[in-house]
Structure 1
Amino acid sequence: MIYLKEGKIPLNFSYNDEIEHEGNSKYQLSFKFPTNNPLWEELAEETLLLADDLHGEQEFIIFEVEKHHAYITVYANQVATLLNNYSITEISVNNASGDRVMRSLASSIIRKHNFTFSSDIANTHSFNLKNVTVANALFRDRHSIIGQWGGDLIRDKYDIRLLSNGGSNKEALFMYKKNLKSYQQKKSIKDLRTRIHFTKTINSQKEGEKDKVIAVTVDSPLINKYKNIYEGNLDVSDQDVIDEITLRKYGENYFKTTLCDVIEESIEIDVVGRPDVPVGIFDTVTIFHEKFNLDVKKKITKYTYSPMGRKLKTIGFGKIQSNLGTTLASMVDNAVAEQVESKLDVFKIQKNLDQLLKLDKKSIEDKLVELEEKSKSAVEVKKALFEADGEIPEIVKTRILDAVEGNIARLKTIITEAEMIKAIQAQLNFAEIKNAM
């Protein structure tokens, strides 16, 4: 439902209603309203609205109204858009965590306001900015707080949070012919960068002395994975960069955190019915489409929702977010080469189990550590224990099911290879497996 905030008057005749939420950027409500209902005159610019959203009730402010013959079209942004209208004095922090810079932002706002700011990001940066709007300081470009600290921006009415991960891993499955209607997948090299020339201007501290410009060129670890070299240039403003060594370190970390060297991939699906598990922006869910051999876990980066019908309409899964970059550091050389598996290979099951049986205890522990690191890379694969339809094949049941203690149904979700091996190693009796095989 959509309401006028003042008096919480329901706008029952709203139609063609949609909330569109795109990660850290667009968060907009639009709908049509008939002009034969007197409430249409209340729907003017600057009017505050309440609307049911995927995460609960949300607040919007009207910024544009289009008048037509028998109806009006209303456009409203989530109230965080008001941060464009507040100015700050100055923010100056050194080696600050995300929460510290967010608190500094809050205290620098000139006028009285209703917003609260917080963050759980532990990474530290230096940041100096003055005489700009709050929106510019927070999320305008790469020199903003989000540009420096990264993270997921959570906007809940007037509560603004910058989190290292704004969602969680959900056991939600979107499957063709179940709750997935249409599907669109796109890959693009438009913004791909594998070599960047970084420059930084060091301002002189002495009168009459010229500013010093330092420059380094940094190649991505993935540069040889592509047929061409994709060059770019970047001026750095990070206060922690003071010489060529720190500039090179900044450049190396830039590839890890932005993933600009990974081909951009986006998926959009139309949702039918309701998900098995409630989901929200930045949650990680499973998408399965047998026809396209698609079986992956992806992070929700956008969605559309009908507040009048209280219904999730579409979900979008964009490029891996920058907050996953640090966990990808050790795996970046393999990030492009790895492929998603969606078919059962019985021989692979036997081979993996045989290999485990032959390893001594120390080797098994080393293998688990290695696989656990791989699981952090956010490159998800279909588990060899499951067929495309999620059913355990009979040959596997007869050979290993009796050896499993506990509830095998818990394993009938798509999980990472590291988690699967750990579960098997912890619960199977190796002697029984030897006999079974």
Structure 2
Amino acid sequence: MLYLLDKEVQTVKWNGIPLYEAVSARVKETLNGDFTLTLRYPITDSYLYRLLKVDNLIKAPVPELGEQLFRIKKPVEMDDHVEVLCYHITDDVMQHSIKPIGNSQVGCMMALSSMVQAAKTSLSPFSFTSDIVKHRDFNTKETTTLYSVLLDGAHSIVGTWEGEVTRDNFLFSIQEHRGENRGVIIT
């Protein structure tokens, strides 16, 4: 079941308004990339479609991660339904500014801690963790966005440690391998 929440909510414990008329909802997550929810909601006499406004949150079930929060970015009203594009709540923090960072032979968790300390504004309620213990150098030369430092290319934190990001509401987890090795080879 999908639920509509106020834009200020910072927990998935409250259900909010049930979006029981939803025609379709599709979650798409690209490894170390976008995490989106696309929703199609009918225009009916219940008028719930009018509440689907920019910046409100939708709580949706996601396989393996459970209930996740998505922020409405683009609702488009059609003739008989509303198409709603939402981004995972972690996208809220991606444009925060990060001052230059300098690390030599540290683990991924230490680089994440340096990133949090170099943020120009608080990153809370978001938190960052990693299980990667390999030591690497990680340096930036100019102030840039959290997205650039964390995810953008081979010279980001994820690229440097060759990790895989799991976004779980307000938690970023960089893991050496996401999921389990069950001996299956995909060709």
Task: Note whether the superposition's TM-score is higher than 0.5.
Answer: yes
Cα distance in structure 1, aligned partners of 2:66 and 2:116: 25
CA shift, 1:80, in A, is: 1.5
Matched, 1:116 2:127: yes
Q: How many residues align?
A: 175
Secondary structure of 2:92 counterpart: helix
Matched, 1:128 2:139: yes
Q: Which amino acid aligns with 1:53?
A: V
Cα distance in structure 2, aligned partners of 1:160 and 1:143: 18
CA shift, 1:85, in A, is: 2.2
CA shift, 1:147, in A, is: 1.4
Q: Write out the 4+ residue segments of structure 1 that deviate beyond 2 Å after TM superposition.
A: none
Q: Which amino acid aligns with 1:2?
A: L
Q: Which amino acid aligns with 2:137?
A: S
Question: Larger RCO: Structure 1 or Structure 2 (Cα < 8 Å, ≥ 6 residues apart)?
Answer: 2
Question: 1:5 aligns to what?
Answer: 5
CA shift, 1:154, in A, is: 0.8
Cα distance in structure 2, aligned partners of 1:74 and 1:158: 22
User: Any idea what the Cα deviations from partners look like across 1:379-427, whole Å, max 9, x if unmatched?
Assistant: xxxxxxxxxxxxxxxxxxxxxxxxxxxxxxxxxxxxxxxxxxxxxxxxx
Question: 1:76 aligns to what?
Answer: 86
Question: Alpha carbon RMSD of aligned pairs, Å?
Answer: 1.7
Q: Which has the higher strand share?
A: 2
* Contact 1:83–1:133 (8 Å) recurs in 2: no
Q: Which has the higher helix share?
A: 1
* Contact 1:17–1:32 (8 Å) recurs in 2: yes
Matched, 1:40 2:52: no
Larger radius of gyration: 1
* Contact 1:44–1:65 (8 Å) recurs in 2: yes
Secondary structure of 1:169 counterpart: coil
What TM-score does the superposition give when structure 2 sets the normalisation length? Answer: 0.87
User: Any idea what the Cα deviations from partners look like across 1:37-91, whole Å, max 9, x if unmatched?
Assistant: 3121111111111111102101111111121011110011111112322111222
Matched, 1:148 2:160: yes
Unmatched 5+ stretches in structure 1: 171-283, 285-296, 299-316, 320-437
CA shift, 1:169, in A, is: 3.0
Query: Share of identical aligned residues, percent?
Result: 24
Question: 2:180 aligns to what?
Answer: 168
Cα distance in structure 1, aligned partners of 2:146 and 2:81: 35
Secondary structure of 1:52 counterpart: strand
CA shift, 1:159, in A, is: 0.4
Cα distance in structure 1, aligned partners of 2:102 and 2:58: 36
Secondary structure of 1:111 counterpart: coil
Question: 1:30 aligns to what?
Answer: 38
